[in-house]
Structure formats: C-alpha cells, structure tokens
Chains A and B, each alone.
Chain A
Amino acid sequence: MLAFVLTLVLLLGIVIVLAYAERKVAAFMQDRLGPTEAGPYGSLQSVLDVLKLLQKEDIVPAAADKSLFKLAPILIFAAVFAGFAVIPFTPDLVPAGIGIGVFYLLAIISLDVVGLLMAGWGSNNKYAMLGAMRSVAQIVSYEIPAGLAILSVVMICQSLDFQEISYQQGALMNQFPGLEYEINWLFGLEALGINTTTIGGITTWNIFRAPMLLVAFVIYFIASLAESNRAPFDIPEAESELVAGFHVEYSGFRFAVLFLAEYSMMVLVCLVAVILFLGSWNTPLPNIGPVSLAYWTTGTVGSVSGILWGGFWLLSKTFVLLFLQLQIRWTYPRLRVDQLMHLCWKVLTPIALGVVLIAGIWRLLMI
C-alpha cells in the first residue's frame, strides 16, 4: 500500500514536471517563450491546469454508452499504472519484485488497448471511434518490434526479472543472489579477455555488454513512441484531422485521467528503455583502477545513499529519454497510416528479428 501511494505521488510529480517541460521545450524550439505568468517562469502552469480541469463539469454525452464511457479512463490509467509495479527504482526498492516482471509488464500494458477501444466506442463519436481504431491498430502492430527488442535483452540477460537485469548492468552484479559467480566481459566477449565485472559503469550497460542491443534499443525507442501515441506516430490523436482522437468527448476529471495516463505511458516506456538498455539505476561512471568512480556514485545497497544515487541515475537517464521524446515530437511531421505500417512491418520487424537471432548467437559466445 505504501509502495502504491509513493509510486503514485512520484508519478504525479514527474508528469507535472513533464507537462511543464513539454510546453517550455516546444516553445523554445519554436523560438517562443512558453508559459511565463503562473509562478516564476510559468512553473506553476501545469499545476494550475490540473486544478482547472478538476473544477470543470464532467460531461457524459447523452448518446454515449455510459458505462463504457465512464469506465474507460480508469481502465486506461490502471493498465499503465500497474506497469509501474515491477519497475525497480533503486537497488533495493521495487514496488512488487516478481520474477517474471518483463512478461507481466508486456501483458498489462496490452490492456491499455482495451481501454482505448472502450473510450472510442463508448463516446459514440466518429472521430473518437476512428482515433481509437487507429490507436489500437498502431499499438498492436508496434508491440511486435518492441516485444522482439525486449526479447533480445531477455535472451542476453537470461532473466525476466527487471531487478536481476538491472544488477547485471553494473559493478554490483555479484551482490545479487544467484549472480555471485557471473562475470561481465567487455562487449560480452570472453575472447577479448577484458573483465568488466568490477569496472561497472557504462561498460556493463546492456548496449555495451552486447552491442547489437544498441540496434534493439533504437527499435524499442521508435516502437515505444508509437505505443504511447507520441509524434511522429500520433495519428490516433491527430489534432488537425481527428480533433483529439479517442478522448474528444471527455472533459473535466476524466480528461485529466486520460491525460495523466498518456504522460505516464511516456514515463513508463522511457523507464523500461533505461532499465533494459541503459544500465537501469547503475551509474554511467566506470571504476578506473584505484579511482573507483562507480562505487563512489552508487552508494551502499540498503542505505540511504544507495537509494538516492539509484533514484538519481534512473530518473536522470529517464529524463534524457523523455527530452528526446519531446524533441522528436517538435521536430518530425506526422506519418501517414501506410508509412506507419510500412515502418513497422517492413523495416522494424525484420530488423528486430535479425537482432533476436544475433542476440541468441551472442549469448552463446558470452558463456
């Protein structure tokens, strides 16, 4: 229960910062100022937006399917929020550390699609329906390259547990029960003869332990943009053609929940990308001989320093990815439906299959 509340509060905080950052980043990239009036540099803008939304009338259209319409936002948010349960925030802080976390995450995120369809269908509005259909088609297809990219990580790490995957990517690996005698080689190749187990830092991140995971990372990142309906894959909400897609009929508190779910989804996919590819809560600084930067910037597991360092690295890496998401949104135009499907089925999926194959072979070289 405490984990639930803490995660929710943390998530709300991140989402509010993100909503503010989105406006400021968008403004700066377009040579504008963004919000300036509410609080210093407009920093209270997103808080005020939330307060405004909560005061609005909660309109349920007369012709809507009321029960579906009312349930959909809660289901969408619940599906996304449930994904946070298995995210390890620090070396010893996981809301729910289950052994099949990766599998659970993929499964529970898919539930999102059901909520989107409920919202689109329940609104009884052609734009909402079209938006929901596009959204579902897009999310379902992009789950394949994303899933394959995640699969290659799972093959390299031989684990479905996020925490175990995290431990493998740092100097603390041998402290995890079951990994006491594991050894990290540079690029995962024992033949090179460079033992990085105690060097840690960036050399043990998954994209360095197995270099083809860099390709997997790019694939996963592109697919995750599509899964969170972000530009350039935002045809489900395409403001210029569909008004706002599946949430066009929502207002007030329910809209706030949908908005929150959308931004939580962004945060979640970035967290997963960081955990699977970019070293999770591990520091990027390696131990170099006597200068044990990695140990200094990791803290001790189980103490406050460990929690603070872990949380700091995880969140800062996540924010870098989130910034990239924002920048991509304000750089690229929206893809057409056929281009979207072309990219998914003819480009990303074959490459992802190739990466899975190479990952399998690489794993054989690693042991």
Chain B
Amino acid sequence: MYCVKMNMEQKAIKHKSGFWDVVKSLLSGLSLTWRHFRNAKNRRTPEYVSDENYFKQPEGLVTLTYPYEALPVPDNGRYRLHNEIEDCIVCDLCAKICPVNCIAIESIKVTEDIGVTSDGTKKRLYAPVFNIDMAKCCYCGLCTTVCPTDCLTMTPVYDFAEIDIRNMIYHFSDLTPEQAKEKQLLYEKQQEEMAAAKAAALAAKKQG
C-alpha cells in the first residue's frame, strides 16, 4: 500500500514538470486570482457564528471595516465590568479576590435604613469609593463569581480604549465627595451620640 502511494506521488511530480504542464499551472494560477478579483463585488456580512449564513459565504471580501461594521459578540460575552451600585452591599469580597488588586473600595456605615438590594439583602454600608481599574484588570471574572448579590457583572462591551490611561479607571460610586463627607459626619455624630448615651447609661447604673 505504502509502496503504491510512493509510486503515485513520484508519478504525479514527474507528470507536472513538462513545458505544457508548467504553462497549464501558470494559467490556473492566473485564473484563481482572476476568480477572486471577480468575486470582489461580494462582501461577507458581519454575522455571528451561530447564524445560518455564517458558513455559507465562501466567496467575496472578508474584511470588515471595523469601527463601522463589527462581528457580533455573544450576549454573555465577558469583557468590560459593570457594577450596579444600587445592588452592591459593599462587602469587599470582589476587592479581596481580585488577583491584580484593581478594585478599590472604601465604605461608610449607614446611620439610617437605606433599604434593601433587589434580591432582598439589607444594605448597611455606603461606598464613597468604588473604582475598578480596567487597564489592570485581567478579565478573569473572579470578582463576579464571588459577588453575593450578583451586582458586579461582565458586559459584552469590548471596545473602550482611551487616549488617557486615567480614564481607564471606572468610578461606580453614586455618592459625590460632599455627600460622602456628610454621611461620614452623620456616622461620626451617631457614634458620639451612642457613646454619650452609653456613658450616661453607665453613669446612671453606677448611681443606681
């Protein structure tokens, strides 16, 4: 079997080296490029791989003029992070698990009831700072898996290049610095009041 194959190959090579075979192969080369040139009026459509047409476009130009056209990405694409701060309980789990330390969170305890997240968890902390540095992020997705309220998610947005690298830091906090200061003061005041109340209670106990 092997021997037969060898023979066939040798014959094939010998067969292709005559003058007319060379001319024939030169012409077939020209006809190939000519065919591609003629098919240049067709263009591939930007379609997702699961679309029916995806594998049915063997001819035509394959280039997409990217900013104007783009191949669709899956709906569950895992690219840019997004935090739905309304649902965040500022538990700091995401910042702790992040392998590159690109999440920075600061927290202030609340002084009154500020409601619950959409899955019913009670919110006890404000987040005056919730920054994710997308330039450092390695898109491992660990932070989204640990998030207890599923508020930190990855979105299918992948084109977010910036001229200034500082713009790669995304600020998700919903508090302005002034509001944060105010909440901080409120919290400190409450602590003082509680301490005063405690001291008063202690004094009353001693007396009594």
Contact = CB atoms under 8 A, between A and B. Distances in A.
Contact of B40 (A28, A36, A328, A330): A28
Interface stretch (B31-39, B83-91, B140-148, B193-201): B31-39
Interface in A21-72: 25, 27-33, 36
Contact of B30 (A25, A31, A331): A331
Given A28-B37, A28-B40, A327-B37, A33 B65 contact: yes
Interface in A319-357: 327-328, 330-332
A45 to B, nearest CB: 15
A108 B196 CA distance: 107
B46 interface: no
Nearest to B59: A31
Contact of B29 (A25, A33, A332): A332
B60 A29 contact: no
Contacts of B70: none
Given A28-B40, A332-B26, A332-B29, A327 B34 contact: yes
Chain B contact residues (Cβ within 8 angstroms of A): what range?
A: 10 to 19
Interface in A272-300: none
A29 B29 contact: no
B61 A32 contact: yes
Contacts, number: 37
Given A331-B29, A332-B26, A28 B36 contact: yes
A32 B63 contact: yes
B30 A28 contact: no
Interface residues of A, number: 14
Which of B29, B34, B36, B37 has the largest count of A CB atoms less than 10 A from its CB? B37
B111 to A, nearest CB: 58
B66 to A, nearest CB: 11
B37 to A, nearest CB: 5
Contacts of A327: 30, 33-34, 37
Nearest to B40: A28
B62 interface: yes
Contacts of A36: 65
Interface of A: 25, 27-33, 36, 327-328, 330-332
Given A29-B37, A31-B63, 18 more contacts: A25-B37, A27-B61, A28-B36, A28-B37, A29-B36, A30-B36, A31-B40, A31-B61, A31-B62, A33-B63, A33-B65, A327-B33, A327-B34, A328-B30, A330-B33, A331-B29, A331-B33, A332-B26
27 contacts: A25-B37, A27-B61, A28-B36, A28-B37, A28-B40, A28-B61, A29-B33, A30-B36, A31-B36, A31-B39, A31-B40, A31-B60, A31-B62, A31-B63, A32-B61, A32-B62, A32-B63, A33-B63, A33-B65, A327-B30, A327-B34, A327-B37, A330-B33, A331-B29, A331-B30, A331-B33, A332-B26
